[in-house]
């Protein structure tokens, strides 16, 4: 079976330095909020060209803490995309605010800036932008709207570490950027981990406190926070993998280019992208016979996945928002037609060719 990601294969290459890093932490006697975590905060901030990094438990907490730090809560509205992982909308609801969805663009699957203005009310406080699949959203247009209406911008860059937009790395463009190091992400830990980045010292201090029980000095608590910290093992592992991140991202883009060149006359593919505007955390194609193709690939021992089959506005958890089918046709169409193909840095061209041939065979049988 060719899996969606092969994390064990990666260990064949990075195993030695990672085992060494883990041993170092074991022997250090320091397991939470220690030297490795601090170093990772510094290095991730520097990698995404932001001033500060705050290590947290996971990407969902990163989003929650970002919104808390911006004092967003009950009575406030946050504009976001309905076509994303559930956590994006969940974090908005967790702080007590109301998610307000805006349909996506056909080509990038990201929030459509042309449709944001009509959703802004006097309760709107922020835009939560997602760089889906590793492709940047239209940040220039979004930042202009935010400026015009005095809104904050939070970037959900959980799938997009290393993605660039007009010479800047995503996560460091808006007021706050959020990253997930969930194992299958482009920079993955071997457990849960996440990071918040910002250029604002005040927000940095606020988030540092909030993730640690609202406390800066031990046993003195100025606000209600939470326990969401990055542990030293994950930080040590991520410090090793960060050194290879650019190589890993390059491999992804090489594979993506090959897919597109060989498939773009058969199905809807992402465009050929030479810049780092897309780092291909996922490689997604679109076709009407999506479900049939998925089972055909499965029969041929090839995994595929649907990100995401149900847009957020149609999720039961958000039924209280009273959206219904037809509200966001572009997102709904994508949910019905999208299929992610396996893409991971250690995938050989040989394996990729097996996937491409299977796909071609399916199209031939079908049409």
The residue (of 81 and 352) whose beta carbon lies closer to ligand PLP is 81
Site string for ligand PLP, 192-231 (x = CB under 6 A): x-x-------------------------------------
Q: Does 60 bind ligand PLP (CB under 6 A)?
A: yes
Choice between 130 and 146, CB closer to ligand PLP: 130
Report the distance separating Cα 298 and Cα 194, nearest Å.
32
When asked if residue 80 is in the footprint of ligand PLP (CB under 6 A), the reply is: no
Q: Is 180 in the site for ligand PLP (CB under 6 A)?
A: yes
| Number of residues near ligand PLP (by CB under 6 A) | 15
Is there a contact between 32 and 55 (Cβ–Cβ < 8 Å)?
A: no
Report helix angle 35-47 to 7-28, nearest 10: 130
Q: Which of 52, 64, 83, 85 binds ligand PLP (CB under 6 A)?
A: 85
Should residue 248 be labelled a site residue for ligand PLP when binding is judged by CB under 6 A? no
Helix (H) or strand (E) holding 130: strand 124-130
| Residue 124 interacts with ligand PLP (CB under 6 A): yes or no | no
Is 77 an interacting residue with respect to ligand PLP (CB under 6 A)?
Answer: no
- Is 55 in contact with 229 (CB distance < 8 Å)? yes
Nearest to 70 by CA among 124, 136, 10: 124
CB of 88 to ligand PLP, least distance (A): 5
- Smallest CA-to-CA distance from 201 within 226, 221, 219, 176 is with 176
Long-range contacts of 360-364 (CB under 8 A, 24+ apart): 360/266, 362/292, 362/293, 362/296, 362/297, 363/266, 363/267
Query: Taking CB under 6 A as the criterion, which residues in 132-161 touch ligand PLP?
Result: 156, 158-159
Residue span binding ligand PLP (CB under 6 A) among the ranges 55-63, 114-122, 219-227, 263-271:
55-63
Please, what is the minimum distance in Å from the beta carbon of residue 10 to ligand PLP? 18
The reply to whether 58 sits near ligand PLP by the rule CB under 6 A is yes
Torsion of CA 320, 322, 324, 330, to 10 degrees: -90
- Report d(CA 37, CA 195) in Å as an integer: 10
Q: Could you list the residues that contact ligand PLP (CB under 6 A)?
A: 58-60, 84-85, 87-88, 130, 156, 158-159, 180, 182, 192, 194
């Amino acid at each position: 079976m060719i899996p969606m990601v092969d994390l064990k294969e990666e260990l064949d290459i990075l195993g030695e330095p990672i085992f060494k890093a883990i041993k170092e932490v074991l022997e250090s006697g320091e397991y939470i909020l220690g030297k490795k975590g601090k170093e990772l905060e510094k290095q991730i901030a520097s990698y995404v060209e932001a001033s500060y990094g705050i290590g947290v438990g996971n990407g969902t907490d990163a989003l929650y803490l970002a919104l808390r730090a911006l004092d967003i809560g009950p009575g406030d509205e946050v504009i976001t995309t309905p076509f994303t992982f559930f956590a994006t909308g969940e974090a908005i609801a967790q702080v007590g605010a109301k998610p307000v969805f805006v349909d996506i663009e056909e080509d990038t699957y990201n929030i459509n800036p042309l449709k944001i203005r009509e959703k802004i009310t006097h309760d709107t406080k922020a835009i939560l932008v997602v760089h889906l699949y590793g492709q940047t959203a239209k940040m220039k247009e979004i930042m202009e709207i935010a400026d015009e209406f005095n809104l904050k911008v939070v970037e959900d860059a959980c799938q997009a570490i290393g993605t660039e937009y007009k010479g800047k790395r995503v996560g460091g463009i808006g007021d706050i950027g959020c990253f997930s190091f969930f194992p299958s992400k482009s920079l993955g830990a071997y457990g849960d981990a996440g990071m918040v980045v910002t250029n604002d010292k005040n927000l940095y201090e606020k988030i540092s406190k909030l993730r640690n029980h609202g406390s800066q000095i031990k046993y003195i608590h100025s606000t209600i926070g939470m326990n969401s910290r990055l542990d030293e093992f994950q930080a040590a592992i991520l410090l090793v993998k960060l050194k290879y991140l650019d190589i890993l991202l390059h491999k992804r883009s090489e594979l993506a280019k090959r897919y597109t060149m060989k498939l773009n006359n058969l199905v809807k593919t992402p465009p050929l992208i030479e810049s780092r505007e897309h780092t291909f955390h996922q490689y997604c194609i679109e076709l009407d016979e999506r479900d049939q193709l998925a089972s055909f690939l499965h029969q041929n021992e090839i995994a595929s996945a649907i990100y995401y089959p149900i847009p957020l506005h149609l999720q039961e958890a958000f039924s209280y928002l009273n959206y219904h089918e037809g509200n966001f046709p572009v997102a709904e169409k994508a949910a019905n037609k999208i299929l992610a193909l396996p893409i991971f840095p250690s995938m050989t061209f040989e394996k990729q060719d097996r996937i491409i041939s299977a796909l071609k065979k399916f199209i031939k049988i079908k049409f």
